[in-house]
Chains A and B, each alone.
Chain A
Amino acid sequence: MMASSYKDEDGHISVSGSGAPAGAVGDSLRSKKPENTAFKQQRLPAWQPILTAGTVLPAFFIIGLIFIPIGIGLYVTSNNIKEFEIDYTGVDVSSPCFDCSQKLSWNSTRPCTCSITFQLDQPYESNVFMYYGLSNFYQNHRRYVKSRDDSQLNGNEESLRKPSKECEPYGKHSNKPIAPCGAIANSMFNDTLELFYNEPNGTRVQIPLTATGIAWWTDKHVKFRNPGGENGNLTAAFQGTAKPVNWRRPVYELDADPDNNGFINEDFIVWMRTAALPTFRKLYRIIQRRNNLLPTLPRGNYTLEVVYNYPVRSFEGRKRMILSTISWMGGKNPFLGIAYITVGSVCFLLGVVLLIIHHKYGNRTNGADISH
């Protein structure tokens, strides 16, 4: 009866069955008295907090008291930031860029330009950052995100000649390897934006735009490297490669400045950092403040000259130009401030509610406690 209740499930013998010697050793070990250590007896000294209304109340009030001022501060800061945004896609017939957006094609040789005038109501005092924004552009699509070769971009000669297969179908063109390969590089934003200040006297002053310092320092100096060493001839280094299909110029002609040419061109680097959401903005240029007395961008009328190259209407996208000042907490972002104020107030409110509950019910448990 007893024996039949052994069931051999695994078809093997368990460890303890390893024979008499092992069993004997086990016996002698087992017969030892267990050690009286705090850990083994589960009596380690311990701090034993409990979340009661009493203990949590102060925390709620403190959170409320800290969060609300932070929120107000953030909100005020965010409101002080000046931001100007203009859509230049040219969807409407009335829009200056409508023509360009209509007749755009990748292989047209003559660039199409259009200019949009706008007015800034307030002077922009500190450095102004110029962004371009795209909507409905899925830079975060999986096929798109992985379509790059980081080792090629890091200046690896082998990858330059033989791009990774992740780049397909933007890896090779007429049997030559494409540099830089991949969908991201291929679709690089290539509109040119220029800003002119229309002085009240009617003269147009071009505002100098700085094209450096827009990419992460580490990207520009470590992650992206040109092939063929620091001072090599870029043209020679890229010999035997094809330019991306949609590009007008090869990669080694992106900029005249050798420190901003090839893979380490900052516009290129900025584009290569894929955005998280389908509506995004990317830093285009920086307008440095030169004169401490004058605002960087005074009040007045401005003209945005666009060399319109980049088609977005096929996927119902939009293109924008944004001018923004920056504070210690970045650009305009009322959400963070509002969120802090809300959470702070909720905590405070909860604190009050808990206080009431604590007084109503807490006494009861306390009473029981004392009577105990």
Chain B
Amino acid sequence: MYFQRASYTTVHVVERHLIPCAGEENWVDSRTVYIGHKEPPPGAEAYIPQRYPDNRIVSSKYTFWNFIPKNLFEQFRRIANFYFLLIFLVQLIIDTPTSPVTSGLPLFFVITVTAIKQGYEDWLRHKADCSINECPVDVVQQGKAVRTQSHKLRVGDIVMVREDDTFPCDLIFLSSSRDDGTCYVTTTSLDGESSHKTYYAVPDTMAFKTEHEVDSLHATIECEQPQPDLYKFVGRINIYKDKEEPVSRTLGAENLLLRGATLKNTQHIYGTVAVYTGMETKMALNYQSKSQKRSAVEKSMNAFLIVYLCILISKALINTVLKYAWQWSPDRDEPWYNHRTEHERQRHVVIRAFTDFLAFMVLFNYIIPVSMYVTVEMQKFLGSYFITWDEEMFDEELGQGAQVNTSDLNEELGQVEYVFTDKTGTLTENNMEFIECCVDGNVYIPHAICNGQILSAASSIDMIDSSPGGYRREYEDLFFRALCLCHTVQVKEEETVDGIKRGIHQGRPTSFYISSSPDEVALVEGMKRLGYTYLRLKDNHMEILNKDDEIESVLAMFCSLLLCVSVFSGEYLLFCKGADSSIFPRVVSGKVEQVKAHVEQNAVEGLRTLCVAYRRLSESEYREACHHLTEAMLALQDREQRLAQAYDVIERDFVLLGATAVEDRLQEKAADTIESLHKAGIKVWVLTGDKMETAAATCYASKLFRRSTQILELTKKRTKEQSLHDVLFELNRTVLRQRSISGLSVDCLDFGLIIDGATLSAVLKPTQEVSGHGNYREIFLEICRNCSAVLCCRMAPLQKAQIKLSKEHPITLAIGDGANDVSMILEAHVGIGIMGKEGRQAARNSDYAIPKFKHLKKMLLVHGHYYYIRIAELVQYFFYKNVCFIFPQFLYQFFCGFSQQPLYDTAYLTLYNISFTSLPILLYSLVEQHVTIDALKREPSLYRDIAKNSLLRWPVFLYWTCLGLFDAVTFFFGAYFLFDNTTFTSNGQMFGNWTFGTLIFTVLVFTVTLKLALDTRHWTWINHFVIWGSLLFYVIFSLLWGGIIWPFLNYQRMYYVFMQMLSSGPAWLSIILLITVSLLPDVIKKVLCRAICPTATERAQVKSPQRKSVLFYSENGFHVLLQSVFS
């Protein structure tokens, strides 16, 4: 099959180093794809045929054969697993107190469960891979379409794709069944955007209509090596015709059809050439795991682990030293009743001491439990479902709820100190409406849309400053044309391809505009209402229906998104549309002052403004500009840089035409959300590219700034007057003074800072000056720390990522909806994407995605809060229960001659963390609600109670550890004094060491479980079931474990031990006593803390109406009781 195919697809693929010619320096890695049955062009460089991967997608990680070794290797790369493996190996090698089963079984369990999970996922991947790799594909071979399987595609093959098919690999678009050489594509499975995008065929090949024609093409494609950016592609196609010089055409992202995208509204497209296949497609390159973010809780957990590791090692060391001190006399070392074997005796004392040390390590290793990692991971994984299940975060309009992309950061949502939010699309709807425009100083306001119908041109324009004249008329025309031409809006027809013409001609608006930028849609629609209708782009000509119902066809050549050159009635005109800050410097004439004033006025009203300017070009200027641009566009390396250079040459000496104003409404409940965040002690920063006035207006509307807020300005306008240094110091003084006056009161300290991008970069720029002038950065951060709200306007997308609050590393959250927010989202501790109008890139790159900004409130205040307290308790409790578990063993060593005799039976050692005490805490960490959801939403200030990792600070950790130590001492010495030299039974028989251990273990299991029960504030039936159930399970297991002689065990030490213990009255009494004593301190601490200095959370618990009645009832009951006692 392979050879047969190879014989007639002669596609030569060459990877070579291009000889650096003018402008193509540094271009090292490129690939050249030869299409067609032709020889490589004469004079081409020597090439080395390069093997490319076939089109097989391999998303699976393992094969059947390497699964076990590879998976094990992967798992043991984790430090925790490796530690447990070491312990296990030590147990296998040396003579240890506990059998290897005790640590082997949990480890085996964990490893197996993980392996099964990963194996299952991999099996699913294999299945998915298989179905993709075997789906049929049409390849053009010798002028015919041949059906083959997807994975047999090679680089350079010519492929035919039909409507609704998915592209099998990354293809260069050669020709389409549509006359204009376009096709529509959806990229839902790539980036989640369901809108149709238009792709363009290579102009020279778009005429090909049959397989034969396509097959006769003689061309090479040069392009860059695969890279994951979906929206970037640089390449060129060289087409050879007869003996002429090859024709070079530039290839961009609009010519590259991506694997995974689907062809829509186009019958079929021929002649697409595979350039990237298999694992080199952009889709495959993109689905790679992102860099991992670690939560603050995880960091604390690791710190605690290190403390425990130190405790473990010091325990083992102390015991080893004491052992040898104690054994100094041979009668103790080897009394007559207890000799060593000869083999042991011959061992060197150092080796013996070392093995003893290891044995102690093994005995105490349970203090760092395997199960904690598993439980934490399960908690995170399962817990994150509550976010996706949340009905309140479901948006009917979008049909989507919240989405969790990583569950590692759940608890970080409860720790956020700074929120960085994008403005457009995040705070605002991103639903633009054209409000007005100002042409040469005159203001035009289109009337509201009347049920989508276009009003007649004359009536729709309301001229405010009417001063008719030809001069004005000309400007008006130019202005409207500019807005009709300068955009990337596409016309999307409702039904068929021919729909456009019919629809427009019959005056029925069956078509609508789509664009990645809602501003442009608003502008174009606004123009439509003003009488200039953009019809479509056809063969590089844009068609406009002008006021007089004439169709004008304009040759438009796009230079950049905001710039276009058009040939208009024989003249060359260069139009430019952009932000006022970028337009004004380039303007030489026009009514600059008037427009500027108007723009500012609009901005204060919270409208988004754009300016329009134009320039007349002479024939020669046009040619020159074209030449520069084409050259830059054909470059494969540094294309963007060179384009920018070319633009700089052209974009100058503009004549200002006017400005537009577009309104963007606030999202619903945005103000409420921001207010809640403020109350929760979270500082909100708004980062936007908008003008300061616009942004500030939005900030006031969204209650980011209140009337009482004192605004500090740090903008270019101010720094022009004073030096940056003075401004900074002055602001700093203001802030500090205010703080010293108001003292502790939080409300008075309401500062808002406004800073713009230029100043920000000046501030953050590492100063070369000597420290004398101080570090601006530090002062700036000091100011920021004292401001509850910060507005950064005029920010470049990249700058959004640069805002990092150094030094203290507060937890930051970034929220945004557009591609320009992605870097910020990736950079922040928690990145939240909004499934907005500007595509799904932000949502895709985020850690969590929510439909609307208002959902942030519940996400942080409710879910984040819950996750944090849940995981904090989980971590502390795990350490606590293992201190309780292991410390008695440590104490026992003092009474058994430091012989590493375990206190508990092997089964208990093994199952303690796996089954007796695991489920209650897991359940707690999933469903606990210390305060009701409503209370959390009602009182955002509760969020302050858990700020700065308050439940996992060292004092709290110390408290838990001390509690564990106290309990362990109670268990051990309680049992010790009860056992000391007395009979426990009523028939005079004695108990042995295993009963002693079982007694302690029983007290331990009950105490630890009841401690959790005391901490539980939210007793659902599941909690009851799991807590009482796990205690019952312990009892049943113990009865069973001691109930029979287990044939596979070589010892029967537990036989009837548990039953005998239960048959003794004093054992019951002492169990009850010891449990009570162990729980007492914690209860007292809780009650005292609550009574004397209740936290806000504790107050909120009491306030909840349901509880009030309970409390009331019990208090009344108690008073009655007391009265009867004391009277």
Contacts and interface: CB of A to CB of B under 8 A. Distances in A.
B1121 interface: yes
Interface string B178-212: 00000000001100100000000000000000000
A274 interface: yes
B988 A276 contact: no
A91 interface: no
Contacts of A103: none
Given A6-B286, A51-B1014, A222-B1055, A278 B897 contact: yes
A37 to B, nearest CB: 8
Interface string A199-221: 00000000000000111101100
Contact of B288 (A8, A18, A332, A365): A8
A277 B980 contact: yes
B1107 interface: yes
Interface size class of B (residues with CB under 8 A): 35 or more
Contact of A278 (B895, B900, B1092): B895
Interface string B317-345: 00000000000000110011111111000
Interface string B1044-1087: 01000011110110001000111001100100110010011011
A243 to B, nearest CB: 16
B982 interface: yes
Given A33-B394, A280-B981, A326 B988 contact: yes
A229 interface: no
Contacts of B400: 30-31
B388 A129 contact: no
B1087 A63 contact: no
Nearest to B1000: A276
A15 B129 contact: no
B836 interface: no
A52 B287 CA distance: 53
A56 interface: yes
B992 A276 contact: yes
A346 B822 CA distance: 61
Contacts of A149: 1050
A26 B563 CA distance: 40
Given A19-B129, A129-B988, A333-B982, A362 B61 contact: no
Interface size class of A (residues with CB under 8 A): 35 or more
A326 B983 contact: yes
Interface string A39-73: 01111111111111111111001010001001000
Contact of A9 (B128, B284, B291): B291
Interface stretch (A253-261, A297-305, A308-316): A308-316
Contact of B132 (A20, A311, A327): A20
Contact of A34 (B125, B128, B292, B391): B391
B331 A281 contact: no
14 contacts: A7-B288, A24-B189, A33-B401, A49-B1019, A51-B1087, A56-B1083, A58-B1114, A145-B993, A276-B996, A280-B981, A326-B987, A330-B985, A333-B978, A350-B1084
B1111 A275 contact: no
B424 interface: no
A324 B335 contact: no
A339 B287 CA distance: 65
B1101 A140 contact: no
A131 to B, nearest CB: 8
B1032 interface: no
Contact of B1092 (A2, A15, A361): A361
Contact of B188 (A1, A14, A24, A316): A24
B764 to A, nearest CB: 18
Contact of A150 (B339, B1052, B1121): B1052
A30 B927 CA distance: 23
A126 B2 CA distance: 100
Which 9 pairs, one residue from A and one from B, show the smallest C-beta to C-beta distance? A17-B287, A187-B337, A331-B983, A3-B229, A276-B996, A129-B988, A7-B291, A142-B899, A18-B128
A286 B988 contact: yes
A223 to B, nearest CB: 5
Interface in B969-1015: 974, 976-993, 995-997, 1014
B393 to A, nearest CB: 9
Interface string A267-287: 000100111111111110010
Contacts of A44: 927, 1020-1022
A316 B330 CA distance: 12
Interface in A207-266: 213-216, 218-219, 222-223
A110 interface: no
Contacts of A215: 989
Q: Which of A1, A55, A131, A314 has the most CB of B within 10 A?
A: A1
Contacts of A7: 288-291
A90 B826 CA distance: 82
A183 B339 contact: yes
A333 B403 CA distance: 63
B933 interface: yes
Given A187-B337, A216-B1060, A283-B990, A51 B1090 contact: yes
Contacts of B929: 42, 46
A154 B1045 contact: yes
A200 B741 CA distance: 98
Interface in B1083-1127: 1083-1084, 1086-1088, 1090-1092, 1094, 1098-1099, 1101-1104, 1106-1108, 1110-1111, 1114-1115, 1117-1118, 1121-1122, 1125
Contacts of A140: 895-897, 899, 901, 993
B57 interface: yes
Contacts of B1084: 350
B295 to A, nearest CB: 16
A93 interface: no
Q: Which of A2, A36, A286 has the most CB of B within 10 A?
A: A2
A53 B1020 contact: no
A19 B59 contact: yes
A18 B129 contact: yes
A293 to B, nearest CB: 23
A368 B1101 CA distance: 13
A283 B846 CA distance: 71
